[in-house]
Amino acid sequence: MEKKKDGALVINLYGGPGAGKSTTAAGVFSLLKLHAVSTELVTEYAKDLTWENRMKTLDNQYYVFGKQHHRLFRLVDQVDVIITDSPILLSLIYGDTHAEFKDAVVACFKEFNNVNYIIRRTKAYVSAGRNQTFEEAKEVDNVTRRILGSNDLPYAVVPGEYGGINQVAQELLEYLGIECKFKFAPK
């Protein structure tokens, strides 16, 4: 983990729908807060639209991308760590196929100090609040790996459960020079 420029460290959690991104983001956010780290959680704008049944808006990935980008941008000089379950590179999966759009998304992504984690599925798929079937969600997992690989973006894979939450939080705390005092544990 290496910070290349000024501004917050952005922790990007990748995976298809239902992989455990939101659960991992919430857990890591909680652990960092318990360790007094200046951190914020940036949630998925597209999921807000899904819960509101605004499918037409979801079709406009330029708009969705802009909204998601702004959620990150507004925090860059405000906190030390940003955790997101909706990395802006996901617009490459759901968005326009024009090269110009793809180039713009990647350029905007590279403006941030990014650390990338892919969440490995460990739990049953829950379809509530999702627009994809389980098979489609698994395909998003595969496409995500290809996008990160084709853009030479390093990533680590963590399980979508308490062990993954602990691993990400531990790595961040070590990077920040903070002793880990709290972890999630199985029952």
CATH number for the domain spanning 104: value is 3.40.50.300
Please state whether beta strands 156-159 and 113-120 pair in parallel, antiparallel, or not at all (unpaired). parallel
Average pLDDT for 139-156: 93
Average pLDDT for 15-26: 92
The reply to whether 111 falls in a domain is yes
The reply to whether 158 falls in a domain is yes
pLDDT above 70 as % of the chain: 96
The reply to whether 181 falls in a domain is no
Q: Given strand 9-14, what is the order of strands in its sheet?
A: 39-42, 81-84, 9-14, 113-120, 156-159
The reply to whether 185 falls in a domain is no
The reply to whether 78 falls in a domain is yes
The reply to whether 4 falls in a domain is no
Q: Which residues form the domain of 62?
A: 9-176
Quick one: DSSP state of residue 77?
T
In tens, the pLDDT along 86-125 reads 999 999 987 667 889 999 999 999 999 999 999 999 988 7
The reply to whether 2 falls in a domain is no
Taking the C-alpha atoms of residue 179 and residue 19, their distance in angstroms, rounded to an integer, is 29
pLDDT of residue 81: 98
Torsion sign (Cα): 75, 80, 85, 89: positive
The predicted model scores a pTM of: 0.91
Half-sphere exposure of 87 (CA within 13 A, CB side): 30
Q: Is 24 exposed, middle or buried (0-12, 13-18, 19+ CB in 10 A)?
A: buried
Average pLDDT for 45-61: 89
Number of structural domains in the chain: 1
